[in-house]
Amino acid sequence: MSLLLLIPLLPLIGFAINGLAYPKLSKSIAGIVGTIPPLVAFVISLQLFLNFDGQTQIIQLADWIKVADLSIPFAFQIDALSIMMLLVITGVGTLIHLYSMGYMAHDAGFGKFFSFLNLFIFFMLILVLGANFTVLFIGWEGVGLCSYLLIGFWNQKNSYGDAARKAFIMNRIGDLGFLVGIFLLIQEFGTTDYQTIFSTIKDGTEVGNIGLIAFCLFIGAMGKSAQIPLFTWLPDAMAGPTPVSALIHAATMVTAGIYMVIRANALFELSPEVLHFVGWIGLATALLGAAIGLFQNDIKKVLAYSTVSQLGYMFMGLGASAYTASFFHVMTHAFFKALLFLGAGSVIHAMSDEQDIRKMGGLKSKMPITYLTFLLGTIAISGIPPFAGFFSKDEILAALYHHDFAMWCLAILGSALTSFYMFRVFILTFWGDFRGTEKQAHHLHESPWSMTIPLIILAVFSVGGGLINLPHFAGGNEFLAHWLAPILPEPHEVGEVSFFSLEMGAPLVAAFLPAIFAIYYFGIQKAVPGNDESVQGIQKVIYRKFYIDEIYDFVFVRPIQVLSTFFAQVIDFLVIDLIVEGVGKTVKTASDEIRKAQTGNVGYYIFMMVLSIALILVLTLRSRIL
Amino acid sequence: MAAIVKWENGIKHWATGISVIQLFALIYAGTEFDQSATSFQWKEELQWIQLPLGSLGEFVIKYSLGIDGLSFLLIALTGFISFLAIINSHSIQEKKGAYFSLVLLLNAALMGCFLSRDLFLFYVFFEFMLLPMYFLIGIWGGPRKNYASIKFFLYTLIGSLFILIVMLGISLAYIDPYETAKHLGLIQEGQNFDLEALKNIQTAIANKEIANYDLVHSFDMQALSDVNNCQTTSILHPNSGWLLNGMSARMWGFWLLFIGFAIKLPMVPLHTWLPDAHVEAPTPISVLLAGVLLKIGAYGWLRTAIPFFPKEALESANIMAALGAISIIYGAYNALAMSDLKKLVAYSSVSHMGFVLLGIASFHAEGWQGAIYQLVSHGILSSLLFLVVGVLYERTHDRQIDHYSGIATLMPRFTLISGIAIFASLGLPGFSGFIGEFFSLLGAFTSPYIHPAWAVLGAFGILLGAGYFLWTFQKVYLGKTQVFNSDWKLPDLNRLEIFSLFSLGILSILFGILPQLILDWSKYFVSNFLTTLH
């Protein structure tokens, strides 16, 4: 078990070395020091995976906190779910570290970057390894910190700092919900341990507030996994270096919300209305993200909205209790979205930091590896068989078909939008003629091996990732479903599907048709989106992201600013201090008046003295007589 | 003359030396302290004043000290923060002798406060803090020092007045059975007093078997915490039926004490002295003020207001919780509007001390442990934040947030420690701020005595905290490097600053990762107290 401890410990050590030695350590050493921890952690995870016997193991490291009757151990849980997450985090993490060695090679903050990346991996591992909600919460907030640090990595630019701050604060809104959820768990169960809580539920013990708990936990997931209404931070988070977008804002951190819901599936299963809510929020987010993605011209923004949308799909699956399908999509999405982001990074690297697809085009010949891998990623995300995305998305859709027909129809629509915007981006970037400047054209080159190797590996997984849970009708054995079965509720029976049914046919049409249309419109007609001013009408509303940022600013941010100024300038300064100073002034005025009695005239004093004695005498005698 | 000048230069070393000795004494005390003991340890008791008042009985005032877990945490904090304040006093160039004497006097008064077991003695120390503080702000302060020091003085004086009223009233009403027994010759000096003997004396007093002039009144906090010691004829007796504005005398007593100490905390709306005092005070005095002085407020509640009037306190739990939640939110809102770095930190203190009140109002073990933890954590973090502000102020004599931008490139080490201070203060797990806030809120949320809505409202303070801290961090440290005045020199931290700032930062991380280091100290105090309370 000591090997297991190394998994989170190694990235922590990497963080410490690179953090303390920065900037003295040379870039090549810093890169190696940063990349080895996730690599070794991956090897250990792989070994854990191969030797796993299906038994959940709890490794208690320390008592950590004991307060009154509440005890919170610092413990790790090894089970089917956490092992799968370990593989994704360390596997994709290693590739992205490797990629970063090339991508960040010219950056002055190289060592600092790797140190932050390692810290992120550490917290992400704590998040999935934790055996109770409190340890999960530590990882949860920790990855939020790393996300802040990495989005604002180039913090000289103020808008990047704004994006980082927005991400942290929006996540914190979700975290408040999560925190209240934890409080409720402690109130109802007296603990935050997964095992105790879930076995209490399974025993059929009556516990109150389950629905409220599930709802509060889901608020946390909304923040972390960028769901409506807390999604606007994710597109802005693209201010960070591209490897960060790939690792944190596509493959791992943003899927923490889905991980958490799957982890707490016992709670959610008992509250169908919350699950229903989860599903519809997911659907709305999927459609909104896809719609905004249609008209964006920044290559990373498109991918960001696509991530928002894909996360929506995962929540839709959860809403239909299709936990395996959602987790399957978490995994395949980690492959193809990381691939797409890294491909985009490769393009941006070659284009000297240009991100506007209107100024790209024709990169196919200059960057063959990037081109080919990006194409594979595009096909995978569009849901074209037999690529990975097809199987995972199809499984979610199949669950929806039997769960709620209306949701299924809308999900198919979202799927069609996805296919269109992805092919649009792909064609505008790689096909046609180059639309950039002379200088950029001169500089165009394929990226170094440290960047292309991760692309190739991820492309392989994007193509073949479906094998993890290949359905029976395609000759597979549904490995993932069997693997996760012990921690999930009994799956609903889904009948055999025929290839020619509506259920099977519609997703295929939704994948192919928009792709063909995009190829025709952007590839053959060579249409290029006009400049920002030419966008009009509804298209402008969508291009401007439905003005949601502006609405939030008006409804939430401004009132808070106004109220804070009001409190400071009016209540504190005018009301409270005026009263305080008023009391002071009154006392002073009164004492000025009373002081006048001190005349300095001895005769006057004696007179007052005699008068007082007489008064006291009278009063005393009166009380004696009565 | 020359000798005086030389002595003035050396005085800082003297003061440092004394505070180092104090630190060693504290470390020794910490190792010898028995955490599992239920009563005070290392008691020291001397008769101080004996005042026979004929038919009113006899008054006894004792010089009585002792420590338990709660006291120890706070004296350890006082010792460490005083040490840091003294070594960071290099900006003080005038009247050094007077300055360091006053700082040490303040240190003595604080220690006395946290150690006293006699209410009168406590009050004397409590009042004694006023004097050095008034002069430290009034002489070495900034441009509006007169306004700030008088405001501080008057606010605190009014609080003291309330405390004085209750102190006199309650000692008149209560009879100390132990002292009475001693007076009657039933037990000898230093002899133990078992529960049965105590009951016997109490019954004898209640049945008026003991002559009036033999009754002994004292200010012993333990005696005052037992309602059975109250004379039946007094309006403070639970059955007296005396009402004023619908409130019993005991309720009045509780609220007068509560408000007296709430001014020190400070609780909204009694907080407006704090920002002014902080802005005008020199850095080390701000550090002492925020790091230690504010803790007296909560300490006073835990030692006097609540144990003296437990039933009344429990009945008022909801109002207390509301005031706590309002302090959290109101303080945070005000911090958002500040343009002066020091005022921002001052208002963040108001917000963070609100968590203490909320935790105490829960009357629940988690909440109390959290509140006491938060006292220590805030002591560390507010000291760190004020030192951070001091680092900038010393270099530029300017605290306007918008006069700075992007100083991260100029002062990378300073940026690192400021980042730690800010994330610790906004309650990120792994830092001490998280544990204090988490358990205060948890206690308030799960407590049967208060409505959970107050905890939820308080939790929004965490969100607002992230707002103003990150905004400030971005404005001052991040962005394009640009400062208001191009003549400003902004060298990175020197060795003394690195030591002071990082030792606090490391403590915050240490206590955040191993919270039991603090929680174990307060464990027995809290569990004993709450069992007797309920």
Residue B424 has pLDDT above 90, yes or no: yes
Q: Is A195 inside any structural domain? A: no
A587 shares a domain with A559: yes
A64, A561, A564, best to mutate vs chain B, most B CBs in 10 Å: A564
* Chain A residues inside the 8 Å CB shell of B474: 152, 155, 158, 161-162, 165
A591 shares a domain with A561: yes
B431, B445, B519, B530, best to mutate vs chain A, most A CBs in 10 Å: B445
What does the pLDDT average to over B285-305? 93
Residue A70 DSSP label:
E
**A562-to-A556, B269, B334 alpha-carbon distances in Å:** 10, 20, 11
Question: How confident is the model over A161-209, as pLDDT tens digits?
Answer: 889 999 999 999 999 999 999 999 999 988 999 989 988 888 877 788 8
pTM: 0.91
**B327-to-A620, B322, B365 alpha-carbon distances in Å:** 51, 9, 22
Residue B220 DSSP label:
B
In contact, B317 and B333? CB cutoff 8 Å: no
In contact, B472 and B344? CB cutoff 8 Å: yes
Tell which residue, A60, A123, A133, has the closest CA to residue A89. A123
Two structure tokens written together for A375: 């194409």
CA distance A235 to A226: 9
CB atoms within 10 A of CB A191: 20
What does the pLDDT average to over A350-372? 85
What chain A residue is nearest to B347 in terms of C-alpha separation? Answer: A568
CA distance A463 to A371: 15
Helix residue ranges per DSSP H, B303-396: 306-308, 310-315, 317-336, 341-361, 365-396
Is B330 in the A-facing interface, judged by CB distances under 8 Å?
Answer: yes
For tokens 């806030």, the residue is: B437
Domain with A586, as residue range(s), is 544-595
Q: What angle do CA B112, B115, B120 make, to 5 degrees?
A: 70
Burial class (CB within 10 angstroms; exposed 0-12, middle 13-18, buried 19+) of A415:
buried
Q: How far is CA A220 from the centre of its chain?
A: 10
B335: CB partners within 8 A, 6+ apart: A564, B344, B347, B348, B351, B464, B468
Burial readout B375-385 (b: 16 or more C-beta within 10 A, e: otherwise) = bbbbbbbbbbb
What does the pLDDT average to over A600-620? 88
Is B154 in the A-facing interface, judged by CB distances under 8 Å?
Answer: yes
Q: Is A293 inside any structural domain? A: no
Is A549 in the B-facing interface, judged by CB distances under 8 Å?
Answer: no
What does the pLDDT average to over B250-269? 92
Is A172 in the B-facing interface, judged by CB distances under 8 Å?
Answer: yes
Q: What angle do CA B458, B459, B465 make, to 5 degrees?
A: 95
Residue-level pLDDT at B1: 44
Which has the higher per-residue pLDDT, B223 or B190?
B223
Residue-level pLDDT at A495: 54
Least confident of A113-117, A121-125, B199-203: B199-203
Q: Is A625 inside any structural domain? A: yes
A591 shares a domain with A568: yes
Helix residue ranges per DSSP H, B174-194: 177-183
CB-CB under 8 Å, A138 with B442: no
Q: Is A356 inside any structural domain? A: no
Most confident of B202-211, B260-269, B378-387: B378-387
A567 shares a domain with A552: yes
Name the band, by pLDDT with cuts 50, 70 and 90, for residue B433: very high
Is B428 in the A-facing interface, judged by CB distances under 8 Å?
Answer: yes
* Chain B residues inside the 8 Å CB shell of A157: 479-480
B203: CB partners within 8 A, 6+ apart: none
Percentage of the residues of chain A whose pLDDT score is greater than 90: 35
Residue A210 has pLDDT above 80, yes or no: yes
Tell which residue, B148, B376, B390, B399, has the closest CA to residue B287. B390
SS (H, E, C) A489-517: CCCCCCCCCCCCCHHHHHHHHHHHHHHHH
Two structure tokens written together for A521: 């419109």
Of B434, B442, B480, the CB nearest to A183: B442
Tell which residue, A167, A81, A191, has the closest CA to residue A483. A81
Q: Is A581 inside any structural domain? A: yes
Least confident of A499-503, A609-613, B170-174, B299-303: A499-503
What chain A residue is nearest to B469 in terms of C-alpha separation? Answer: A165
What chain A residue is nearest to B438 in terms of C-alpha separation? Answer: A179
How many Cβ contacts (< 8 angstroms) between chains A and B?
125
Question: How confident is the model over A12-25, as pLDDT tens digits?
Answer: 999 999 888 887 88
B221 Cα to chain A: minimum distance (Å): 26
In contact, B120 and B61? CB cutoff 8 Å: yes
What does the pLDDT average to over B418-429? 94
Is A70 in the B-facing interface, judged by CB distances under 8 Å?
Answer: yes
Of A65, A187, A567, the CB nearest to B516: A65
What chain B residue is nearest to A190 in terms of C-alpha separation? Answer: B446
Of A152, A183, A580, the CB nearest to B272: A580
Residue-level pLDDT at A42: 94
Bridge partner residues of A57 (DSSP): A78
Tell which residue, A345, A338, A381, A160, has the closest CA to residue A250. A338
In contact, B166 and B256? CB cutoff 8 Å: yes
Q: Is A577 inside any structural domain? A: yes
In contact, A299 and A425? CB cutoff 8 Å: yes
Residue-level pLDDT at B3: 52
Give the H or E element holding residue B15: helix B2-32
Give the H or E element holding residue B49: strand B41-52
In contact, B324 and B271? CB cutoff 8 Å: no
A52: CB partners within 8 A, 6+ apart: A78, A80, A83
Of A67, A169, A179, the CB nearest to B459: A179
CA distance B179 to B181: 5
**A202-to-A72, A197, A603 alpha-carbon distances in Å:** 22, 9, 94
Percentage of the residues of chain B whose pLDDT score is greater than 90: 55
Cis peptide leading into residue A386 (ω within 30°): yes
Name the band, by pLDDT with cuts 50, 70 and 90, for residue A68: confident
Least confident of A281-285, B43-47, B251-255, B454-458: B43-47
Which has the higher per-residue pLDDT, A293 or B189?
A293
Name the band, by pLDDT with cuts 50, 70 and 90, for residue A510: confident
Give the H or E element holding residue A288: helix A272-295
Question: How confident is the model over A149-158, as pLDDT tens digits?
Answer: 999 898 888 8
Tell which residue, A237, A243, A319, A256, has the closest CA to residue A286. A319
A374: CB partners within 8 A, 6+ apart: A339, A340, A343, A344, A347, A426, A429, A430
Residue-level pLDDT at B226: 86
Residue-level pLDDT at B528: 85
Name the band, by pLDDT with cuts 50, 70 and 90, for residue A496: low
Percentage of the residues of chain B whose pLDDT score is greater than 70: 98
Position A268, amino acid: F
**A386-to-A456, A470, A503, B46 alpha-carbon distances in Å:** 18, 10, 17, 89
Helix B365-396, helix B516-533: angle, nearest 10: 130
Tell which residue, B248, B225, B246, B223, has the closest CA to residue B237. B248
CB-CB under 8 Å, A186 with B471: no
What chain B residue is nearest to A564 in terms of C-alpha separation? Answer: B333
Domain count along chain A: 2
B147, B149, B154, B272, best to mutate vs chain A, most A CBs in 10 Å: B272
Average pLDDT, chain B: 89
